Amino acid sequence: MDNKKIVAGILILIPFVAYFILPLYNSQYPEAFGLPFFYWYQIIWLPISGIMFYIAAVLIDRGGSAAKGRKRAGRPTKRVAK
């Protein structure tokens, strides 16, 4: 398996773990801007998750676009003998 795909998988998994460990952030204090910790913890994770998903998508796309680039460049691809 490609290292880029492993890193992408970990980047996708981190926000899910952060959201699903509810006892970690199920509290009212500390408050920020009048919002309990429960809400601002989730609000902070929204852009962090978006950045992680974007990086994962770029890593996965770079692995797939190399094969597409070979086809477009007219380079021969491997053929399987029947």
pLDDT of 4-21, one tens digit each? 888 899 999 999 988 888
Interacting residues of 47 by C-beta distance below 8 A, sequence separation 6+:
none
Largest CA distance in the chain: 69
Between 47 and 2, name the one with better pLDDT.
Answer: 47
**The predicted structure's pLDDT at residue 72:** 57
Interacting residues of 52 by C-beta distance below 8 A, sequence separation 6+:
11, 12, 14, 15
For residue 80, tell me if it sits in a domain: no
Q: Which residues in 60-79 are b (16+ Cβ under 10 Å) and which e?
A: beeeeeeeeeeeeeeeeeee
Tens digit of pLDDT for each residue in 35-82?
888 888 888 899 999 999 999 999 998 866 555 555 555 666 677 776
**The predicted structure's pLDDT at residue 14:** 93
Domain housing 18: 3-68
pTM over 0.95: no
If one counts every other C-beta atom within 10 angstroms of the C-beta of residue 56, the result is 20
**What's the structural domain count of the chain?**
1
